[in-house]
A and B are shown apart, each in its own frame.
Chain A
């Protein structure tokens, strides 16, 4: 079993829909990252959080440390949000990043 599991693997939605991507992990962490990878391959960091909730524009990230679970939400989704969204956790024991396999999101106009 992977230490970081994302769901769903693939998600297709219509423009304007509310999107939720989930990330569950099984190790002790010091931080959790949400990143976005566009079709060209470059990765951009969206959020880095260790507790609670963060919001940036239409993106919201939450984390529940007790349940070892995080969610990334996109409100009023748009075709330009189409990308792969990756969850990664920083291990508290060795400080390395452990990566989820990513969720491929397609937003149709």
Chain B
């Protein structure tokens, strides 16, 4: 079955440590996205990538980094520079958003990161 997989589901990190969240999709989607969700707020875009080896900052990219070496994979690193990293992180993918017609986004199950 095609889908998008995030791992791990729960992650604990000590202050000052970097941590990498995994996102893999086998939907052959060109575009992949990372969102952060905080209680009572809408999803906020951290980074997105529309093609391999290219990615763009979203609204809240500071303290995060990404890579897109393969079409299937878009890992997110939460660095020690991120002031308030405790949050729920969602990865999504879609066909290239400028394609004709409507483009449905598929989401992973999310990773809940807690800094201790």
Contact = CB atoms under 8 A, between A and B. Distances in A.
Contacts of B41: 101
A99 B43 contact: yes
Contact of A41 (B44, B98, B110): B110
Given A42-B108, A42-B110, A90-B97, A50 B102 contact: yes
B107 to A, nearest CB: 4
A74 interface: no
Interface of B: 33, 35, 40-45, 48, 88, 90, 92, 97-98, 102-110, 112
Contacts of A97: 33, 43, 45, 105
Contacts of B92: 43
20 contacts: A4-B42, A30-B102, A33-B105, A40-B109, A40-B110, A41-B110, A42-B107, A43-B92, A43-B107, A45-B107, A50-B102, A88-B42, A96-B48, A97-B33, A98-B42, A99-B42, A101-B40, A101-B41, A101-B42, A102-B42
A58 to B, nearest CB: 21
Given A33-B105, A95-B97, A97-B105, 12 more contacts: A4-B42, A40-B110, A43-B92, A45-B105, A45-B107, A86-B43, A90-B103, A96-B45, A96-B97, A97-B33, A99-B44, A101-B40
Contact of B107 (A31, A44, A101): A44
Contacts of B102: 30-31, 48-50
A86 B42 contact: yes
A86 B110 CA distance: 15
Nearest to B88: A41
Contacts of B104: 33, 45, 48
Nearest to B89: A41
B97 A45 contact: no
Interface in A28-76: 30-31, 33, 35, 40-45, 48-50
Q: Across chains A and B, which 3 residue pairs bring their CB atoms closest together, nearest first?
A: A99-B42, A41-B110, A43-B107
